Amino acid sequence: MAQVLEFKLPDLGEGLTEAEIVRWLVEIGDVVAIDQPVVEVETAKAMVEVPCPYGGVVTARFGEEGTELPVGAPLITVAVGERAPSGGGAEEARTESSGNVLVGYGTSEAPARRRRVRQEPGVSGAAPATAVNGRAGVPEAEDGPLPVISPLVRRLARQNGLDLRELTGSGPDGLILRADVEYALRAAPRPAATEAPAPRPAATATPGEIRTPLKGMRGAVADKLSRSRREIPDATCWVDADATELMRARTAMNTAGGPKISLLALLARICTAALARFPELNSTVDAQAREVVQFDHVHLGFAAQTDRGLVVPVVRDAHARDAESLSAEFARLTEAGRTGTLTPGELTGGTFTLNNYGVFGVDGSTPIINHPEAAMLGVGRIVPKPWVHEGELAVRQVVQLSLTFDHRVCDGGTAGGFLRYVADCVEQPTVLLRTL
């Protein structure tokens, strides 16, 4: 006889207490294997798939897409020991449990192919998931598939009563992006859809306003930036540097064959070398103990802009990696950020952050420290500018470097020394080679 087990939203770690259902990966009646992902949720840190520790038949789902659930709330119920009516001698569904309930901790067994079983009369549950076509996550419209992949884009349109079929996407193959929805909302504001989840008490929007709740990742970013400004007495110093030789060195490295080396990887090597000389900036402040905690390792965060907002993936032990390894890890984490598959562990634990805002076409900025770190290096765009080189005016590749630091961990002399060393390595990469 089948035993019905309830699987609850697990503790996802890193202090997370709630998550929002983005997309169901199973339907009622599906047979699931142990540790097979059953739902995709968005936490304040990342988009993650939640595996179920039980194997059996899904008998109920709790919560529609867009619903926010606290840790410990029921997700699904699974009937273990249920037989699939696929003919005589049908294999019995697994009754084991992996015991794993944390995201990222599961067996190496591949998920079994889903098998449809007839739902027992009287078993309650949510409606089946929306049918999708060949492109994952693209819902079918009445007259064909909607070119939308991101569930966040669909939710934004739904909450504002916007019909996605009226839009022309600016992405590849007409893909509708978040920017397309936001542009349409600015151009022709519409009343919020009645099917949108009831918001927390807030001011009523007046005509001409669009109100977006500060929740999920956007809310987490807002809270962290506010905390940084509130708790850290930061200061910023900056310097212009001639990056011509650094760019030439990168070109020479990439024409020699082998994996391509990114500019970000070279800047990261310079950062880790500078932190070895000025370790005060690779630290954090324990305000309760009134102590500065210095680290003997560099877990390097780097700012990355995605459709879901700003994320800061972390390269573990960046000080022990060469330029090739750094390039590969930056590429992997950047792609995971774009697809929303970064894990909470890949977004936390940084000791220093590198922010290349030059990709946005700007020269300078005053970075906000990624709390609870003690410093962030900002890098502007590298552009040709008039520069005095070897006593003569010449056109050189110039970059502005900015360092924002926690004034509690060091004084301006240390911060200035760090920034000057970084600039020297940018101007003369051989300086870095002499200190390795």
Beta strands, E only, 117-206: 140-141, 144-145
Q: What is the DSSP letter of 243?
A: -
Peptide bond into 372 cis (omega under 30): yes
Selected catalytic residue, list 319, 371, 389, 407: 407
The CATH class that applies to domain 219-435 reads alpha beta
One-letter identity of residue 127: A
Cβ(419)–Cβ(367) below 8 Å: no
Between 5 and 200, name the one with better pLDDT: 5
The fold for domain 140-213 equals: Dihydrolipoamide Transferase (4.10.320)
Question: Is residue 407 annotated as a catalytic residue, yes or no?
Answer: yes
Whole-model pTM? 0.61
Confidence at residue 117, expressed as pLDDT on a 0 to 100 scale: 40
Give the pLDDT confidence of 92-108 residue by residue, as tens digits: 444 455 544 443 333 33
Numbered ranges of CATH 4.10.320.10 in the chain: 140-213
Q: If one looks up domain 1-129 in CATH, what number appears?
A: 2.40.50.100
On the question of pLDDT at 159 being above 80, the answer is no
Numbered ranges of CATH 2.40.50.100 in the chain: 1-129
Between 224 and 109, name the one with better pLDDT: 224
Tokens of residue 192, six digits: 């919020």
